[in-house]
Amino acid sequence: MHPGEHYRLLASLVEDLQPDLAVEIGTFTGLSALAILSTLPLRSRLLSYDIVPWNTVPEHALREGDFRDGRFEQRIGNLADPNYFHQNAVLLQSASFIFVDGPKDGEFEPKFFELLRALPRTQPCWLIFDDIRLWKMLGFWRNISLTKFDATSVGHWSGTGICLLTPPVGKPATPMTPRSAR
């Protein structure tokens, strides 16, 4: 499943990692959400954040039925706003998979990332950034000082970056081993 467009990569990562809570930032048409949901375990949830409701986006791919079973929820708000971020901090802290497909405006991603990194963690969290090769994302991606991997060759043509946010050294972490290694 790995070679291909980033939707396949997202589905494959979710299938391997089996997160209890996956977070998507930037719902837009909902295609990434549907890719994540396609392999998300039935016991797990997908929480998607955007600044506009999914059903106000022209040519959206989501349907009301995608939300019916309670595994998928969209929240409206700006996670680069410290107040809104802190209202959602407990959920973001417990997520082990976060896909960031925000505005790529040179402001959102650095602010969100700074807030996310400041949260205390008890488990590792895989962060996937879309469009890391776009002009306004290049500096941000290059300045991330975490273990990271440029997965553009198997991800999105405009860049896919994967990095691992871990608990501080000396803190026990709940291991998150990919299913294929279990």
Beta carbons of 22 and 48 less than 8 angstroms apart: no
Q: Is the pLDDT of residue 182 over 50?
A: no
Q: Which CATH superfamily is domain 6-181 in?
A: Vaccinia Virus protein VP39 (3.40.50.150)
Q: What is the mean pLDDT of the chain?
A: 91
What pLDDT shows up at residue 177?
Answer: 47
Distance CA 140, CA 151 (A): 16
- pLDDT band at residue 4 using 50, 70 and 90 as cut-offs: low
- Mean pLDDT, rounded, for 123-133: 96
What pLDDT shows up at residue 1?
Answer: 46
What pLDDT shows up at residue 36?
Answer: 98
Q: What residues contact residue 86 under an 8 Å CB cut-off, 6+ apart?
A: none
Strand partners, 100: 25, 129
Per-residue pLDDT tens over the stretch 28-59: 999 999 999 999 999 999 999 999 999 999 99
Nearest to 18 by CA among 96, 114, 106: 96
Q: What is the Cβ-side half-sphere exposure of residue 170, based on CA atoms within 13 angstroms?
A: 0
**What are the residue ranges spanned by the domains of the chain?**
6-181
- In the chain, the DSSP E strands lie at 21-25, 45-50, 72-76, 97-100, 125-130, 148-150, 160-165
Per-residue pLDDT tens over the stretch 145-177: 999 999 998 898 899 999 999 987 655 544 444
Distance CA 56, CA 113 (A): 27
The rounded radius of gyration (Å) of the Cα atoms in the chain is: 15
Sign (positive or negative) of CA dihedral 91, 94, 100, 101: negative
Beta carbons of 171 and 143 less than 8 angstroms apart: no
Q: Is the pLDDT of residue 2 over 70?
A: no
What pLDDT shows up at residue 35?
Answer: 96
Per-residue pLDDT tens over the stretch 54-94: 999 999 999 999 999 999 999 999 999 999 999 999 999 99
Question: Structure tokens of 139?
Answer: 């500096």
Question: Structure tokens of 138?
Answer: 């290049």
